[in-house]
Structure 1
Amino acid sequence: MSTTSSTVDRAFEAALYAESDAALDTGASLLAADPSADTELARRGREFVATAWRRGWQPADVVRIVRRELDDPHVPLVSRLILDENRQPPTPRWAAQLDELRTADDGLPRTDRFSYATAVLELYRLLLRLPAIEPLDRPDGDRADVHRPGGGAPRQESRMLTRIRGLLAKAEATGFPEEAEALSAKAQELMARHSIDEALLAARTGDPNTPGACRIGVDSPYETAKAVLLDAVAGANRCQAVWNESLGFSTVVGFEPDLEAVELLYTSLLVQATTAMTKAEAAQRAGGRKRTKTFRQSFLAAYAHRTGDRLAAVAREQAAAEEQRDQRDQRDEPDLLPVLAARDVAVSEQVTRLFPETVTTRVRGVSDAAGWREGAAAADRAQVRARPPLNS
């Protein structure tokens, strides 16, 4: 055994299988005193990352869990390991995650050797203990790209998605809640139309593409309400979401255009909901209110509930309008409703395959009537047709 391997082995034996700070200090001291061990230490880190891939994790998942469980200095460490390890041709979604890491890569933080070794050992200890999760797609050829069978280069973003991004960016930037809600509703209408066009195109060309999946972070605080909002956005866009509360993400299953729509809209609505909640909370505080946590939880729960109803209504109306248009035009196209029904069945079957056992959960902590009313009102501002009030 070489001296460098011996140093790394002794450091790992001291630090990776113990929780105490004393154990970390012992391992870090060994590594800090032997600069020749750095190359072997990095190689072992790449092995830990490769093991995470075999356990079903993807680059964005690993970065997310590191950011959730450790501190900011650990993020560039794991990002560098991921970029150095990934030398195989990646799948399209995997490639996008790596591109995002490259864009954000500012290099490793400058620090003393002991602090650096401590951070590395903390990171490796987390990677070592990552559980196995549902495999979605992998860059190693073990499994076909579930988003686009056969892999290949990712498609260029369509003009429709570019337009949707623009609408959502305006919704996030405006200082007028009514305008933000109207822009989001328009974005959902375009998403529904885009989904229908893609479904008809696939049916007409006999495209064998199957549903894929992606993971979207659902961070604390108020993660239950956020998971409900994501579930609502997924359902409105012909997808299904399965929440992993302990690991802080939801897996969304659907066809690729719909997955793109869900990621875009959920991220935007979360920004809008937070902005609306902050304004409503400030008004409540001005009136002498102090119960911030219960207000926020109830606000977000009501916002998610009402937004889900609104988005689903927009999607149904768009599908009905497209069906009527097809009937009027009498084009040589597949019937829309059977095509959409078949895609819904395919999504459900994929969910069952990935998650043979799931349980439902209730929204917890919804005990604040004012928060519920304000959240429902924030989600309702864009309504142009009369709707029954959302009872608290």
Structure 2
Amino acid sequence: MRDDKLLTRIGGLLRQAEGTDNPHEAEAFLAAAQRLATASSIDLAVARSHDPALRTRSTPISRKVTIGPAGKRGLRTYVQLFVHIGRANDLTCDVASNSTYVIAYGFESDLDTVEALYASLVVQMVAASDAYLKSGAYKGQTAQQLVTRDIGPWRRRVVESKTLSPITARLNFHSAFAERVGQRLLEARDEQRRTAIELEQAVAGREQPTDSGQALSSSTAVALRNKELEVADFYRHESTARGTWRPSRAGAGYSSAARQAGDRAGRRAKIGADPELGGARGALER
């Protein structure tokens, strides 16, 4: 069930957020946007659990999302960003062997939200890595690469250091950016879920611990668990994927300097804040 009103709201917030360079505001922007998406997802999950008709109309679907043309360098890092955003919004993803597209499985409203978040964040990721390379900060740094060498009568895999090239710097930057953004989204999602469950329990007069290691009997927690199981069951029946996708290849080279730069950019990545969800009003003004 598509929620165009929610998408319009998120889209407007995304555009308004582009004006700030304040990392603290950027942190609030991303968390607020994810909380908004999670709150909407929780509302739908709870509604479905109480309404058989809605449960029949609203079921998981699959959607093919194009990432980029074959041969474009760094597509795996673009996929990595999409998968991390999807994980924070209850999607399961299959990835093409050449990383040109993703098949995402989940509820339509979640799919729409993930595409909106990805469209903004991928632009920020590329722009930030362009600025990093243009600054020349990567020059003089090294990368570690796993290679195969003939050592006497044996062939062995060893780690060697090499000068950090622009493409290796970009790939490491993108990968760290995607991981950091994914972590921030998961934290915002989990915070929103805890808040919703605790509020429900308080209203019901049933205060109880909500640590992840303890069972939750609230209807919100049950609805979210049922949603998770429904998506997992749909994926098992629909997916034809073979093997497991991994975000990077060992042979690409690892650079701690480039990853630190990407991580910092991921911390600053911004998405529209909603004043109702705690974002700073001033940050929305150009």
Q: TM-score, structure 1 length as denominator?
A: 0.53
Letter in 2 for 1:296: R
* Whole-angstrom CA distance in 1 between matches of 2:8 and 2:267: 26
Question: Cα distance 1:270–1:366, how it changes in 2: closer, same or farther (>3 A)?
Answer: farther
* Correspondence for 1:261 among 113, 128, 131: 113
Q: Which runs of 5+ in 2 are unaligned?
A: 142-163, 206-217, 271-286
Q: Which runs of 5+ in 1 are unaligned?
A: 1-147, 149-154, 384-392
1:41-92 Cα deviation digits (max 9, x unpaired): xxxxxxxxxxxxxxxxxxxxxxxxxxxxxxxxxxxxxxxxxxxxxxxxxxxx
1:344-370 Cα deviation digits (max 9, x unpaired): 111111111121443223312252222
Q: Which residue of 1 aligns with 2:66?
A: 217
Q: Which residue of 2 aligns with 1:374?
A: 261
Aligned residues: 227
* Whole-angstrom CA distance in 2 between matches of 1:374 and 1:247: 24
* Whole-angstrom CA distance in 2 between matches of 1:231 and 1:276: 20
Q: Which residue of 1 aligns with 2:35?
A: 189
Q: Which residue of 2 aligns with 1:199?
A: 45
**Alpha-carbon offset, residue 161 of structure 1:** 2.7
Q: Matched residue of 2:98: which SS?
A: coil
Q: Which residue of 2 aligns with 1:338?
A: 222
CA contact (8 A) 1:241 1:252 kept: yes
- 1:354 equivalenced with 2:201 (yes/no): no
Q: Which residue of 1 aligns with 2:11?
A: 165
Q: Matched residue of 1:188: which SS?
A: helix
* Whole-angstrom CA distance in 2 between matches of 1:361 and 1:156: 30
* Whole-angstrom CA distance in 1 between matches of 2:253 and 2:105: 28
- 1:284 equivalenced with 2:133 (yes/no): no
Q: Matched residue of 2:136: which SS?
A: helix
Q: Which residue of 2 aligns with 1:56?
A: none
* Whole-angstrom CA distance in 1 between matches of 2:173 and 2:223: 37
* Correspondence for 1:227 among 61, 79, 82: 79
More helix by share: 1
**Alpha-carbon offset, residue 226 of structure 1:** 1.1
Letter in 2 for 1:303: F
**CA RMSD, aligned part only?**
2.5
CA contact (8 A) 2:64 2:102 kept: yes
**Alpha-carbon offset, residue 210 of structure 1:** 1.4
Q: Matched residue of 1:251: which SS?
A: strand
* Whole-angstrom CA distance in 1 between matches of 2:20 and 2:123: 12
Question: Cα distance 1:262–1:156, how it changes in 2: closer, same or farther (>3 A)?
Answer: closer
* Whole-angstrom CA distance in 1 between matches of 2:179 and 2:253: 12
Letter in 2 for 1:226: Y
Which stretch shifts more, 206-215 or 229-238? 206-215
**Alpha-carbon offset, residue 177 of structure 1:** 6.2
Q: What are the residue-to-residue correspondences of 1:113-132 with 2, within 5 Å?
A: none
CA contact (8 A) 1:181 1:379 kept: no
Q: Matched residue of 1:237: which SS?
A: coil
**Alpha-carbon offset, residue 174 of structure 1:** 2.5
Q: What are the residue-to-residue correspondences of 1:30-49 with 2, within 5 Å?
A: none
Which stretch shifts more, 161-170 or 367-376? 161-170
Letter in 1 for 2:4: E
Larger radius of gyration: 1
Which stretch shifts more, 354-363 or 203-212? 354-363
Letter in 1 for 2:192: Q
- 1:294 equivalenced with 2:168 (yes/no): yes
Letter in 2 for 1:283: S
* Whole-angstrom CA distance in 2 between matches of 1:247 and 1:295: 19
